[in-house]
Structures are given as structure tokens and as C-alpha cells.
């Protein structure tokens, strides 16, 4: 299993000199995003009008880039402060997907293709537009959920372009005509937050508790990570005050975690949910997470897929997949090469080159 003592790259078939050049490239191309994350958001990183784009959750300063590279379950290279707890933005979404896998395993959500309103009775799925939305729609970003959550309307992310191929990016944040659930793919943080709330209501407990008890503790993660929501995302459920956490740090909050803990989760996914002979996340669920969405073959259940035509890493295997957040930050998982790369705060257009350089260092 995963060893957190550094192993010489050559012992697992990696050419150290080439790998070191890749790390130097990553350090040299640190993200231009302001290290003062609060300032970056207030200055309009997400290009939203004020006050609707106002930050409503906690933020913290970031450090310089950091990362961890694993091959064949061995840690072969690190850089930066890999134990620093950093904001991770939309990588939070992929952790939300892991919590969903626990809900499916436990029978809390027996059918992800059934309408959410069958289980969640808070009124958020009662309208004509929302009543047929399923858990799968939410996971694949095809729900077309309509409404306002935590003072953020769904249309704030209409026409949002995260993969650089939208012909409507100039209309970002303007209302469009909604389609039926399952008929349109859109990267929309309000809807992901609505999924997070629905999942918390289904569990009847805070999602950070689920993540800690069922996933992070069993794989030996640290106690340092935190998962935040917003100032106004607190509810009382069954007499207990709970915060609905966010699926990113779009308006603050989200998962704050070290690169080292990310690496553990990356290895868990590479192992198809298994850790030291124990199935932590159902292997079947991992496979389902990596099944392409019919409307967007580069996306599964809140995980990005390296589709051969449109994937972010053209030189990498099509079986590779990754979690990605603003900055750019990734947990890249490559089953074909038995490889996990955690890389944080690299300019987005340089990230594919960095991964290509790491792959080039693999000899056998």
C-alpha cells in the first residue's frame, strides 16, 4: 500500500532527472492567482457582478505551489509544503461524489436515477422544472435545477465556460431558457451546492462527518483538513445544527486540505476504492463515477475524464481521470501508468505540459 517514505524514482521505473525537470517546470509556472484568495475573489476572479458575486464563506491565503507524485503505491517526489492545509476549490466536488458512494452503499439512496424529491422533502425539488431531477442528473451536471440557494441564483453560472470551448462565454451570468433535466450539461456551482444540501438531508448528518468516519480516517488521512460551507448555510435538522458544505470555493468555503491527504485519496481511487484489503468506497461506485456523461464525455460523476478527443491531457491515456479546482489544482489518476499526481497552483495552460513531462519520465 501507500508508503509516505520517499522512494527513489528508479525503483519504480521513473527517470529521476526527467522527473525533477517536470517539478522545476511546475514551480516556475506557479499560478498567477493572488495568494490572498479573499482579494482574488473580491477583485472578480469569477467575473460576477457585485453584490451577487459576494464571498459568503471563509477564505485563507494560499502558499506557493506544492505537490506529491506516487508510482506503484510509492511516494517518489514532493515539492512545496505538502502538509499545508490549502483551499482546494472544485476538487471539493469529487469528494462530494465519494460521499454519495457511501450513501448508495448504505441504501440511504437506493436508486440514483430516481427523483431526489422521493427522499428530500425540503421543497427544493417540488416545482415543475425540478420535480424530475435525479441524483444522477446532479452528479453529471445535467440537472437544470432552477432556484436560489444561499442567496445565489442558479443563473449566476449560466453560460459558464470552464473548458474553453463555449461560444456563449460572453453571456456568462445572464439567464437562458432552461431545458428538461438531463438534456443540457452546465458547470454550475449553485446546483452542486444544492446536491450537497440534498445529500446532507438524506444522511441526516453533516457531510464532513461522513467523509471523516467512512473515508479519511480509514485511509490514515490527517486530522488537519476542513470542509466549510457559507455563513448562511446553517440548518437545524433533528434538533442538531448543521452546516451544508459547498462543492467548491466559488464564494468561499469548500474543502481545505493538504497535498499529502489529496495523495491518499488519489491512491484510493487508483485502487478502485480499496485500502489495505478493505473496500472503503464500493468498487462499483468508482466505476460508475468514471462512466462518461452522454452530453459531456469529459465528465463522469463529479470527476473529470481524459476523453481522447477533448480531455485536458492529450498525451495521457484516455483511462486517466482527475479532480480539478481553480488555481489550477489537480489530483490526476492514471491507472495505466499506476500513477497519482497531486499538483497545486500551476497556470492552467501549463498543467498539460507538466503532466506530459511527468509521463515522459516513466521508463517501465
SS3 track for 288-346: HHCCCECCECCECCCCEECCCCCCCCCCCCCCCEEEEECCCEEEEEEHHHCEEEEEECE
| pLDDT score at 173 | 67
pLDDT given at position 44: 74
- The reported pLDDT for the residue numbered 164 is 62
Q: How confident is the model at residue 3 (pLDDT cuts 50, 70, 90)?
A: low
Is residue 247 within 8 A of residue 90, CB to CB? The reply is yes
What pLDDT is recorded for position 235?
97
* pLDDT single digits (tens) 228-266: 999 999 999 989 999 999 999 989 999 999 999 999 999
Residue 166: pLDDT above 70? no
Whether pTM exceeds 0.85: yes
Residues 123, 66: Cα–Cα separation, whole Å:
43
pLDDT, residue 4, reads 76
Give percent above pLDDT 90 in the chain.
Answer: 87
**Using 50, 70 and 90 to split pLDDT, how confident is the model at 170?**
low
- Residue 236: beta bridge partners? 241
The residue with greater pLDDT, 170 or 118, is: 118
- Residue 118 phi, psi dihedral angles, 5° rounding: -65, -25
Q: How confident is the model over 72-86, as pLDDT tens digits?
A: 999 999 999 999 999
Mean pLDDT of the chain: 94
Flag whether pLDDT at 296 surpasses 60: yes
What confidence tens digit (pLDDT) does each residue in 14-34 have?
Answer: 999 999 999 999 999 999 999
Cα dihedral sign, 302-307-311-313: positive
On the question of pLDDT at 309 being above 90, the answer is no
Annotate 117-135 with DSSP letters as a single string.
Answer: GGT--SSTT-STTTTT-BH
Structural domains in the chain plus CATH codes? 1-364 (3.40.710.10)
pLDDT confidence bin for 359, thresholds 50/70/90: very high
Handedness of CA 86, 88, 93, 97 (dihedral sign): negative
Q: Which cell numbers in the block locate residue 301? A: 460523476
Q: What's the grid cell of residue 321? A: 481521470
- Residue 177: band (very low, low, confident or very high) from pLDDT cuts 50, 70, 90: very high
pLDDT value of position 169: 57
Whether 59 has a pLDDT exceeding 70, the answer reads yes
Amino acid at each position: 500500500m501507500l508508503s509516505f517514505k520517499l522512494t527513489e524514482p528508479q525503483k519504480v521505473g521513473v527517470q529521476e532527472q526527467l522527473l525533477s525537470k517536470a517539478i522545476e517546470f511546475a514551480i516556475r509556472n506557479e499560478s498567477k492567482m493572488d495568494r490572498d484568495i479573499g482579494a482574488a475573489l473580491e477583485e472578480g476572479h469569477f467575473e460576477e457582478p457585485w453584490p451577487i458575486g459576494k464571498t459568503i464563506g471563509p477564505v485563507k491565503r494560499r502558499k506557493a505551489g506544492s505537490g506529491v507524485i506516487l508510482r506503484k503505491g510509492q511516494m517518489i517526489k514532493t515539492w512545496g509544503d505538502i502538509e499545508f492545509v490549502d483551499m482546494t476549490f472544485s476538487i471539493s466536488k469529487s469528494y462530494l461524489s465519494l460521499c454519495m458512494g457511501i450513501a448508495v452503499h448504505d441504501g440511504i439512496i437506493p436508486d440514483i436515477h430516481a427523483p431526489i424529491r422521493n427522499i428530500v422533502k425540503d421543497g427544493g425539488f417540488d416545482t415543475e422544472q425540478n420535480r424530475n431531477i435525479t441524483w444522477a442528473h446532479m452528479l453529471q451536471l445535467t440537472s437544470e435545477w432552477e432556484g436560489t440557494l444561499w442567496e445565489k441564483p442558479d443563473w449566476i453560472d449560466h453560460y459558464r465556460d470552464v473548458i474553453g470551448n463555449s461560444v456563449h462565454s460572453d453571456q456568462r451570468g445572464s439567464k437562458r431558457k432552461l431545458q428538461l433535466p438531463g438534456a443540457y450539461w452546465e458547470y454550475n456551482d449553485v446546483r452542486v451546492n444544492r446536491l450537497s444540501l440534498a445529500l446532507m438531508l438524506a444522511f441526516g448528518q453533516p457531510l464532513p462527518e461522513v467523509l471523516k468516519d467512512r473515508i479519511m480516517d480509514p485511509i490514515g488521512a490527517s486530522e488537519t483538513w476542513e470542509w466549510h460551507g457559507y455563513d448562511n448555510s446553517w440548518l437545524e435538522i433533528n434538533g442538531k445544527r448543521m452546516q451544508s458544505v459547498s462543492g467548491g470555493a466559488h464564494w468561499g468555503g469548500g474543502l481545505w486540505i493538504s497535498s499529502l491527504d489529496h495523495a491518499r485519496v488519489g491512491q484510493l481511487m487508483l485502487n478502485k476504492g480499496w485500502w489495505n484489503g478493505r473496500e472503503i468506497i464500493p468498487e462499483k461506485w468508482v466505476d460508475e463515477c468514471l462512466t462518461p456523461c452522454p452530453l459531456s464525455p469529459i465528465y463522469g460523476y463529479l470527476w473529470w475524464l481524459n476523453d481522447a478527443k477533448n480531455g485536458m491531457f492529450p498525451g495521457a491515456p484516455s483511462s486517466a481521470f482527475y479532480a480539478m479546482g481553480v488555481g489550477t489544482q489537480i489530483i490526476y489518476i492514471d491507472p495505466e501508468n499506476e500513477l497519482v499526481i497531486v499538483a497545486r497552483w500551476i497556470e492552467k495552460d501549463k498543467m498539460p505540459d507538466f503532466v506530459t513531462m511527468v509521463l515522459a519520465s516513466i521508463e517501465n
